[in-house]
Structures are given as C-alpha cells and as structure tokens.
Chains A and B, each alone.
Chain A
Amino acid sequence: QKEVEQNSGPLSVPEGAIASLNCTYSDRGSQSFFWYRQYSGKSPELIMFIYSNGDKEDGRFTAQLNKASQYVSLLIRDSQPSDSATYLCAVNGRQAGTALIFGKGTTLSVSS
C-alpha cells in the first residue's frame, strides 16, 4: 500500500517565523511531488510542485526533496496569519494512470 505520511499538527508559529512542514512517502518510484493548501471547507489549491532532488523556491515558499530519504518538505518564510490552513502533501508514481496519493495534511496556525 503506497502511503504518504504527514504530521497532523496543529503546527503553531508566530507571525514572521518560518513554518516547516514535512512529508514522507513509501513508494521509492514516485516521481512527482506536490504541496497543496486547503482552507477549511474549500478546495485544495496548488502551492508548489517539485520533481528533482534539492530545493525549489517560489516567493516565501521553498519545497525540498530528498528522494534517497523519501522525504519532501515545505518551508514558509515570514509566515502570515493568512497562511493558516491545512497543507496537503501529494505524491505520484511514474506509471501512467497512477493516482495522486495525498497525505492527511498538516494544520498550520499562524498567530499575530
């Protein structure tokens, strides 16, 4: 059974701090990695995707991938109260038709 594991949280950080969200996956053949943000009762929206080992930066967000350790993380710099949401890690395999497997999400709370 392919799995994606996330700490459910809540992760609480003060405004302006760095929030670090982590995700591990079980399928060593996974090729595509995504971070989605979901506000309560709303649909998931893509924040970042990463395919290669290393770091990928987009504004205040940095995704980090380590395929050898089967680990992907999301860093949010200068956290804002509007970043308070549930963050979903999603992983996809290399085979055609392989579904995105979602973790259960980490709830982030940024206090002002």
Chain B
Amino acid sequence: AQRVTQPEKLLSVFKGAPVELKCNYSYSGSPELFWYVQYSRQRLQLLLRHISRESIKGFTADLNKGETSFHLKKPFAQEEDSAMYYCALSPFGYKYIFGTGTRLKVLA
C-alpha cells in the first residue's frame, strides 16, 4: 500500500542548530514527492518538490530511493521556521498521499 510516514509529531531544536525532518514512503514505482508547510495562521503551501532539486528558505530534500526517504534538512534553524511540515507523495495522476505531519519548534 502507498504510505507516507513522518515518525516525529514534534521536533524541537535551538536556533542555529541543524534540522532534519524525516519522511519515509512506500511506493513501488517512481514517486513524486513534496514538502508542504503551514505557518501559524497561514494556509498550507508548497515548500519544495523533489523534481525541482532546489533550496527554498535554506531547506533541501533529497530523494533516496534505496531507503525510500525524502528527509527535509536545513543546516541552521531560524525561529521563523517554526511551523507544521507535511511530506506528501503523488504516486500517479493528481492525487496526493500526505503524512501525519511534524511540528517544528525552533527555540530561541
């Protein structure tokens, strides 16, 4: 079955520390993977997608097909990174499968 797993409900880090939000997926084909972010009182929005291979707001994510992972990383966390992060898989067509989300808290 297609599934996205985000093992951490809450991740707290200090400002300036590295951040890694974990995402594992199960899908036998070639997936398209995304990270979405929801800041406080804002709507859910796309942060990045693996096909773009770009860095957004200092975040990067590499697709590791061997480990079926798509972890989100940032070398130095900032307080404004505090938000809810969702990993999503789009195995085909236009449907998404979302993970359960990880709340990131960056402490001053």
Same assembly? no
Seen from chain A, the residues whose Cβ lies within 8 Å of a Cβ on chain B are none
Seen from chain B, the residues whose Cβ lies within 8 Å of a Cβ on chain A are none
